[in-house]
């Protein structure tokens, strides 16, 4: 009888340890599956450029991303933020930028913004652009104007203005040589119009603040 109870005890011990092992194995499995699920929470933003807004919205929803259309719904998609192929978490909001009206609004928004930020924006949106530079007091490094044409953003960017402004003196009625001598001594740029030996008029008028003087002789 004692031997029988001993055998029964061994059987129950085996069942107990097998049950503990099964529980631990199940917990480990679910922990692994949970870790794998966490890894699957990230997704890469699809390239939506050239698609209709309706199609782009549907694709983003299929990727478990939240579409956010900027501006009026129109034309085709020109880019997104975050940009295509950027790894993001599922459920993230993705801004969609479309052509035509949105581009006109974007061009107006760029005026006055430092060019380095505008260049980053163009890159993020996948937009091509062309830059022209113009010396402009106080506008160094800033976008002075922007227009979108033929699939490209044209930007006018201010650069350092090397000339100095000064209060223009009165050179009317004096000899040309005397006027030239005064201007050279002051280091002010000037230009002579006419072949006379006396200054009969000037531009700009005395007291104006300008960067150069035109002496009109007669």
CA 80/CA 51 separation, integer angstroms? 12
For residues 2 and 144, the model is more confident at: 144
For residues 123 and 3, the model is more confident at: 123
Predicted pLDDT of residue 51:
85
Residues 157, 172 share a domain: no
Q: Please write the tens of the pLDDT for every residue from 7-33.
A: 445 444 554 445 555 555 555 555 545
Residues 142, 111 share a domain: yes
CA 10/CA 3 separation, integer angstroms? 11
CB 191 within 8 A of CB 203: no
List the domain range (segments joined by +) for residue 109: 100-162
**What CATH number corresponds to the domain at position 107?**
3.30.10.20
State the sign of the Cα–Cα–Cα–Cα dihedral 78, 154, 151, 126: negative
Predicted pLDDT of residue 128:
87
Residues 92, 108 share a domain: no
Q: Please write the tens of the pLDDT for every residue from 127-156.
A: 889 999 887 877 888 999 999 888 889 999
Shortest CA distance to 19 belongs to which of 5, 11, 7? Answer: 11
State the sign of the Cα–Cα–Cα–Cα dihedral 26, 31, 34, 35: negative
Residues 158, 105 share a domain: yes
Predicted pLDDT of residue 73:
47
Count: domains in the chain: 3
Burial of 96 (0-12, 13-18, 19+ CB in 10 A): buried
Q: With 90 as the cut, is the pLDDT of residue 172 above it?
A: yes
Mean pLDDT of the chain: 80
- Choosing from 162, 182, 204, the residue where a domain stops is 162
CA 52/CA 46 separation, integer angstroms? 14
Residue 27 lies in a domain: no
If you average pLDDT over residues 40-47, what whole number do you get?
Answer: 87
CA 52/CA 76 separation, integer angstroms? 5
- Between the alpha carbon of residue 80 and those of residues 97, 134, 172, the distances in Å are 6, 31, 62
Residue 24 lies in a domain: no
Residues 109, 93 share a domain: no
CA 187/CA 124 separation, integer angstroms? 47
Name the least confident of 73-82, 89-98, 121-130: 73-82
Residue 14 lies in a domain: no
């Amino acid at each position: 009888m004692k031997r029988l109870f001993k055998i029964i005890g061994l059987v129950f011990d085996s069942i107990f340890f097998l049950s503990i092992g099964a529980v631990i194995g199940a917990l480990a499995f679910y922990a692994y599956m949970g870790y794998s699920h966490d890894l699957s929470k990230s997704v890469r933003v699809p390239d939506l450029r050239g698609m209709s807004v309706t199609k782009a919205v549907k694709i983003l929803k299929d990727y478990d991303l939240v579409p956010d259309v900027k501006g009026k719904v129109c034309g085709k998609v020109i880019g997104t933020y975050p940009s295509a192929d950027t790894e993001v978490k599922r459920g993230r909001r993705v801004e969609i930028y479309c052509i035509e009206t949105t581009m006109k609004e974007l061009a107006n928004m760029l005026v006055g913004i430092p060019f380095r930020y505008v260049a980053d924006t163009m890159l993020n949106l996948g937009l091509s652009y062309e830059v022209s530079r113009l010396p402009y007091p106080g506008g160094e490094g800033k976008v002075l104007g922007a227009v979108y044409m033929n699939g490209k953003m044209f930007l006018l960017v201010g650069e350092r203005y090397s000339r100095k402004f000064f209060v223009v003196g009165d050179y009317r009625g004096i000899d040309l040589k005397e006027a030239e001598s005064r201007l050279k001594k002051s280091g002010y740029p000037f230009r002579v119009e006419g072949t006379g030996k006396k200054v009969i008029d000037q531009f700009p008028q005395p007291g104006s603040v300008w960067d150069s003087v035109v002496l009109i002789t007669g």
